[in-house]
Amino acid sequence: MERYYQPEIECASREEIKAMQDERIVKQIKHVWDNVPLYRKKMEEKGITPDDIKGIDDIYKLPFTSKADLREGYPYGLLAKPLSECVRIHSTSGTTGKRVMAYYTQHDIDLWYDCCARAITAAGGTKDDVVQVSYGYGLFTGGAGLDGGSHKLGCLTVPTSSGNTERQIMFIQDMKSTILCCTPSYAAYLGESMREMGLTPEDIPLKAGIFGAEAWSEEMRRDIEKTLGIKAYDIYGLTELSGPGVSFECSAQSGMHINEDHFYAEIIDPNTGEVLPEGSKGELVFTSLTKEAFPVIRYRTRDICQLKYEKCSCGRTHVRMAKPMGRSDDMLIIRGVNVFPSQIETVLLNRGYSPNYQIIVDRVNNTDTFEIKVELTPDMFTDNMGDIAKMQNQLVSDMRSMLGIGPKISLVAPKSITRSEGKAVRVIDKRKI
Ligand code: DLL
């Protein structure tokens, strides 16, 4: 039977959800107008005041917020509460520019951890579970978020953080961990390491995994489920909104339920900003309805996905989002063709390769070059040139059908591509260097 952490909210009727959002958006807009000069300025530029926002249906009137806006506010520009009322910061990694700092009051932290507790419950967790949190702890939100959710539920929490793979496996065995939380690429690495240590899924007590923070394919899910002998659940979130737990999968595994009492989602056309009808694929935009210290209004995530409002078989009523294909800025444009790394992952795993690959793009004589380094599994490893050529040709042809463009395939020896303990780095785009 399906269990819920907060059934009165997670299974509320659509009318109740809308009433909650109507009330919260009005309060939130007044809060940012009064306290965050950037939001007031942007609203004034559009000629609107808080009086124009009478409910959630008026949200389209509000200006969008971009990552550049948040960066411009670094470090304290977007704070909506006095620092003395804040108890925590987290931040994005800043790999593509200046960091975005996110601030939390104690109330913000409590609500965030509730969202993560909902996710753990939806993955079958109860207070009798042992939850190993192998997301990084620190400025990254993964460790803190799942740790907090696990505490709320009363699970025994094992805060290993990421890295030190053999120790992770030792803890899984010795602490009898039943739920593993980490990035999907690290889960795949843990599975590979277990196999090398001669362990089978029967040797470990894990029953479920809660994996997110990066795009991962259905093929990757099946691969992880097989190697670890678990059910693998997706979880989504971003620092700007709190961290993990903005949405999560339930037992139906048919999209991730967005915690709509805290986050209002829209799908827009990334080029025109037009709000798209239900079911359309586009850019996900979020408004935080309850954040005190660092609210974001119509924040453009750059994640490309779809929304589905129909009631889920699990009983939850909150809207579901499809697995994001990746950020629009992860999308590569190679010789004019759009390529998502997740499409490449699908082809490789369907052909029995491991999820260890690297995409290298460059520009030579004004033409894009496109190479995929693919690691052979120990079973496939051979020095027979004929066999290697056959495997390469097959992959080039599969990639051409999936992407509409043929890469150069370089097959490399097992274990030669660096493993990731957090978010995997799959793309080396030398055109940008
Ligand atoms: O990755 C928060 C998180 C931690 C989510 C642990 C889930 C688990 P950021 O580092 O700010 O926050 O990165 C946010 O990661 O905009 C997406 O592009 C991507 N992302 C997060 N979860 C998923 C997912 C955390 N389940 C960015 N599937 C987001 C695909 C995801 N992409």
pLDDT at 95: 67
For residue 367, CA distances in Å to 335, 336, 339, 361, 431 come to 7, 10, 16, 10, 11
Residue 116 dihedral angles phi and psi, to the nearest 5°: -70, -35
How many Å is the maximal CA-CA distance in the chain? 73
**Which residue has tokens 């109507």?**
22
CA of 30 to the centre of ligand 1 (A): 29
Residue 29 contacts residue 56 (beta carbons within 8 Å): no
Helix/strand/coil (H/E/C) assignment for every residue in 232-281 = EEEEEEEHHHCEEEEEEECCCCCCEEECCCCEEEEEECCCCCCECCCCCC
Token code pair at residue 256: 């991730």
Compute, in angstroms, the gap from residue 213 CA to the centroid of ligand 1: 3
Cα 265 from Cα 143, distance rounded (Å) = 25
Distance 333 CA to ligand 1 centre (A): 22
Q: Provide the pLDDT for residue 29.
A: 98
User: What distance in Å separates the CA atoms of residue 224 and residue 169, rounded to the nearest whole number?
Assistant: 15
Non-local CB neighbours of 122 within 8 Å, separated by 6+ positions: 4, 5, 233, 248, 249, 250, 251, 257, 314, 316
The distance from CA 191 to its chain's CA centroid, rounded to whole angstroms, is 20
Q: Find the Cα–Cα–Cα–Cα dihedral 135, 138, 142, 145, rounded to 10°.
A: 120
Strand ranges, E, within 309-402: 320-321, 332-334, 337-339, 357-364, 367-375
Nearest CA to ligand 1 atom 14: 238
pLDDT of residue 374: 97
Ligand 1 neighbours, Cβ below 6 Å, are 92, 135, 141-142, 212-215, 234-239, 243-244, 301, 303, 323-324, 327
One-letter amino acid for residue 63 of the chain: P
Phi-psi region of 301 (alpha: psi -120 to 50; beta: other; left: phi over 0): alpha
- pLDDT, position 433: 61
CA-proximal residue: ligand 1, atom 15 (nearest): 213
What is residue 96's predicted lDDT score, i.e. its pLDDT? Answer: 65
Cβ atoms of 237 and 145 closer than 8 Å = yes
Beta carbons of 90 and 64 less than 8 angstroms apart: no
User: 303 CA to middle of ligand 1, Å?
Assistant: 9
Q: To which residue do tokens 């903005």 refer?
A: 246
For residues 401 and 397, what is the distance between their CA atoms, to the nearest angstrom? 6
The rounded average pLDDT for each run of 10 residues, N- to C-terminus, in the chain (433 residues) is: 91 98 98 98 98 98 96 92 98 79 97 98 98 97 98 98 96 98 96 95 98 94 97 98 98 97 97 95 97 98 94 96 82 91 93 94 94 95 93 97 95 94 92 73
pTM: 0.95
Contact 131, 146 (CB under 8 A): yes
Residue from 96, 236, 300 to probe ligand 1 pocket by mutation (most atoms less than 8 Å from CB): 236
